[in-house]
Amino acid sequence: MTSPAIGQSRPAPIAISEGIPWLIGAVLFGLLLYYFVGIDEGATSVFGDTMVVHEFVHDARHLAGFPCH
């Protein structure tokens, strides 16, 4: 195996045990984002019967193709 030429670099290896928390965090964040943009309808909201979250992400819902009315 040859070493990289001058000015080039190779990525440092990362242990799987160091990447698992980041992967879990990214999946949880993605599911939370999916809930707020795609599923939270106001009437079925986890946060009561207000439409605050729905109205806050209303345009993102239409951009992502979720129907809401």
At 6-62, the pLDDT tens digits run 778 888 888 889 899 999 999 999 998 888 787 777 656 666 666 777 777 888 888
User: Would the pTM count as exceeding 0.75?
Assistant: no
Which residue is it, tokens 């986890």? 46
Distance separating alpha carbons of residues 27 and 33, to the nearest angstrom: 10
**Do the beta carbons of residue 30 and residue 37 sit within 8 Å?**
no
Q: Given the structure tokens 């599923």, which residue do they identify? A: 39
Phi first, then psi, for residue 52 (nearest 5°) are -65, -50
CA dist., res. 40 & res. 1, Å (int) = 54
Q: What is the pLDDT of residue 21?
A: 94
